[in-house]
Amino acid sequence: MLVKSIAIALLASSSVAFAAEIRAPITLPFVRNYNGQLAQTKRGLGKRQEAANVLGTEFLIEVAIGTPPQKFNVTMDTGSGRLWVPSGDSKVKRGYERFDASASSSYQASKVPLAIDYGTGTINGSYAQETVSIGDLTVQNQVVGFADESNTFLEADEDHNFGVIGFGFPGLNLLTGNTYRDHNIPFVFNLLYHNVISEPVFSVYFNNDSAGQVVLGGVDNTKFDGKVNYAPLVAYTVTSEQEKQQQFETMYLYWAVGGLGLDSSFGYELSFDDDTVEPFILDTGSVLTYVPKNIAEDIVQSLTDGAEFDEDLFTGAYRIDCSYADKDESFTFNIETSDEPYKLTVPLSDLVIPLDPNTCAFAIAPLPTATTERISTLAGSFYLGETILRSVYSVYDFGEYRVGFAPLTLQED
């Protein structure tokens, strides 16, 4: 197995107050926004890339922050660990929702700065502790970032939505230099750590026609057929300096499963070395899927029979003829499990994305070379976005450190 080494500081976990009553699993519908500025920019993983979500589509969930609660629609993102929303102190006065700290009795200010670089845009502000709820699931003293400055994100008009809630592992916040007192624990992990939910699970269902849903604390058995195929997560070797000695620890950072290779019905095939796997990072906050540039080029050349293609400067993806959406072809990501390898197969029609009425992009794009908040090439070179994940029901189990995949039911909503 290929294990990546990442140097970060190891810190103790922080104290967070919580509700004592354990709640049943809660199902939350996604709100689908087709004009999302956040989705258009948050996946700008390199200096040349401004929009990884080429349709501007966001899958949002409603989060309530403060006492009394102030509600925000934010992007659910398994590829990051932070929760942030716009601050009422923003110097840009637009029509979107922003948090008013003076109106909340549970707001606990800090001097810890918030700074995130998404490659094509940055946000700055400060952290605080607040009461945060999703549905009737509540965590008190949750660390929240409040953004008051940005060169991109806070410039949009009122029809855009803002904010991110990260569902990545706690160690990911340390990896990106995100420290608040001792440790910034993502909201979904605090739900379990403090007995708000009984099962260490959340599950995601994307739908091409409707918005889909996320279940916190369980699964929705009506959304898939057959059994759930579980793949163990890839652990990372973390180094730190303690008492002038280098220490090593294995920990989980991303929702990353072991990739064995790629293949397709149109002739492309790639198998990794027998003694290694490549981490496939599951990223619900992105539409595009990222692979190393040489692999992305080979896939497109195989699909187009060597026809010329170019890179879209706005999205970073490759332009292809829109007629490929009509072809009866598919692409497969082969994933390591404790049993037979799981084949996550996606119809080609899901990988052809309109950029405008006359132009389409291929959803498997070259991995940007720049390392930013959204990506660390040390962590892996394969990021599977929403166009891939919509083909399966996915179960994220942070008790057993695994991800489950199941075929979607044919039953309509």
The predicted-structure confidence for 113-146, as pLDDT tens digits, reads as follows: 988 876 556 788 999 999 999 999 999 999 999 9
How many of the other CB atoms lie within 10 Å of CB of 154? Answer: 24
60-100 pLDDT, tens digit per residue, is: 889 999 999 999 988 899 988 899 999 987 665 554 678 99
Per-residue confidence (pLDDT) for residue 59, from 0 to 100 = 76
Q: What is the pLDDT of residue 302?
A: 95
CB 109 within 8 A of CB 126: yes
Residue 295 has pLDDT above 80, yes or no: yes
- 309 vs 272, more confident: 272
Tokens of 213: 């849903």
Say how far residue 271 (Cα) sits from the centre of its chain: 26
pLDDT at 115: 86
3-state class (DSSP) for residue 278? strand
8 A C-beta contact, residue 348 and residue 340: no
236-259 confidence digits (pLDDT tens): 887 765 555 666 678 899 999 999
- What's the confidence (pLDDT) of residue 25? 86
**For residue 123, what pLDDT is reported?**
82
- What is the average pLDDT value for the chain, to the nearest integer? 80
CB-based contact 97:86 (threshold 8 Å): yes
**Residue 124: which residues within 8 A CB-CB, separation 6 or more?**
113, 114, 115, 116, 147, 148, 149, 150
Model confidence at 207, pLDDT cuts 50, 70, 90, reads confident
Distance of CA 14 to the CA centre of its chain: 24
Q: Please say if the pLDDT value at position 30 is more than 90.
A: no
Higher-pLDDT residue of 357 and 32 is 357
To the nearest whole percent, how much of the chain has pLDDT over 70?
A: 73
Which of the two residues, 151 and 73, has the higher pLDDT score? Answer: 73
The 10s digit of each residue's pLDDT in 376-392 is 545 678 999 988 999 99
User: Tell me, what's the pLDDT at 64?
Assistant: 96
Nearest one of 287, 36, 31 to 162, comparing CA atoms: 36
382-394: buried (b, 16+ CB within 10 Å) or exposed (e) per residue? Answer: bbbbbbbbbbbbb
Q: What is the mean predicted confidence (pLDDT) over 6-27?
A: 51
Q: For residue 333, name the pLDDT band (cuts at 50, 70, 90).
A: very high
Q: Which residues 6+ apart lie within 8 Å of 177 measured at CB? A: none
DSSP-assigned letter for residue 201? E
Residue 318 clears pLDDT 70, i.e. is over it? yes
In the structure encoding, which two tokens stand for residue 407, read together? 């075929």
User: Looking at residue 143, what is its pLDDT?
Assistant: 94
- Which amino acid makes up residue 68? P
Q: Give the strand pairing for 122-134 and 58-65.
A: antiparallel
Strand spans (E) along 151-197: 164-166
Q: What is the pLDDT of residue 33?
A: 61
Amino acid at 404: G
With pLDDT > 90 as the criterion, what percentage of the chain qualifies? 49
Judged against a pLDDT cut of 90, whether residue 17 lies above it is answered with: no
Residues in the chain: 413
* The pairing of beta strand 278-282 with beta strand 256-264: antiparallel
Helix (H, G, I), strand (E, B) or coil at 102: helix
